[in-house]
Amino acid sequence: MTGLRAFTGALTFAVLAAATFPALAEGDPAQGETLFRPCRACHMIGDGAVHRVGPHLNGIVDRAIGASPGYQFSDALANAGAEGRVWTEGSLDRYMAGPSDYFPGTRMVFRGVRSEQDRQHLIAYMLAAGGRSEAGAELAEVAVAPEIAAILEISGDVPYGEYLSSECTACHRDSGGSDIPSIRGLAPSVFIAGMVAYRDGSREHQVMNTVARRLGDEELAALAAYFAVAH
């Protein structure tokens, strides 16, 4: 009996400890690297990482939320950072578990990582690959992939963009939705990075892959210019 009680006690303690200190030390970076594969559709991390659809994640741990220079965050994340909130292992864990549960209004369209163990592996990987905030600050030099930079240099023709946009607004409503994000007011760098990722297939979504592959650089620049402005 005593043995059983001691055992139960230890179990309770372990559960409490896990709940209070999620994601410390226990994650395995190698497993995290594999789990990070779906994140790579939108995020880069490590040497030479730049913003894509999502911000690069170098130095994410201990950095202010939604504050990576050169990336236009949703108000949800930007306001949290402005209030002085920082990404810790705990807040990363909760964000990955359910991005829009933790930050309603976040622009990260991702269903979340259900397993706490997997989230710990992911955090361990992000620490190993991108360092903590201080080390990451040196890597955080903002750079844009050449293909995206080339399109950003084209000055987009807004009326042409408006003409092309009727195909998009059939799905993309200004209010957004749980499955279809609002694209109104997206920074051109974010918009174009997203469309290029659909066009080259590094971000997979059948409809958007088809839509993006029909559009040339001029069209993307025009659409980016049109959608950047709130109408």
Interface residues with ligand HEC (CB under 6 A)?
38-39, 41-43, 53-55, 57, 60, 65-66, 68, 73-74, 76-77, 92, 96, 106-110, 113, 122, 167-168, 170-172, 179-181, 183, 191, 194-195, 203, 205, 207-208, 211, 223
Which residue, 2 or 166, is less far from ligand HEC as judged by CB?
Answer: 166
Q: Which of 207, 157, 155, 158 is nearest to 181 (CA)?
A: 207
Q: State in angstroms the smallest separation of the CB of 53 from ligand HEC.
A: 5
Which residue, 79 or 150, is less far from ligand HEC as judged by CB?
Answer: 79
Q: State in angstroms the smallest separation of the CB of 26 from ligand HEC.
A: 17
Which residue, 17 or 201, is less far from ligand HEC as judged by CB?
Answer: 201
Which residue, 139 or 171, is less far from ligand HEC as judged by CB?
Answer: 171
Whether the Cβ atoms of residue 108 and residue 190 lie closer than 8 Å to each other: no
Q: How many CB atoms lie within 10 A of CB 3?
A: 7
Q: State in angstroms the smallest separation of the CB of 33 from ligand HEC.
A: 12
Q: Is the dihedral of CA 51, 55, 61, 65 positive or negative?
A: positive
For residue 220, what are the CA distances in angstroms to 21, 29, 73, 191, 207? 45, 37, 21, 9, 16
Longest CA span, the chain: 79
Q: State in angstroms the smallest separation of the CB of 105 from ligand HEC.
A: 7
Q: Which two tokens stand for residue 75?
A: 């108000």
Which residue, 5 or 111, is less far from ligand HEC as judged by CB?
Answer: 111
Q: State in angstroms the smallest separation of the CB of 171 from ligand HEC.
A: 3
The Cα 84–Cα 65 span in angstroms is: 8
Whether the Cβ atoms of residue 145 and residue 52 lie closer than 8 Å to each other: yes
The Cα 216–Cα 230 span in angstroms is: 23
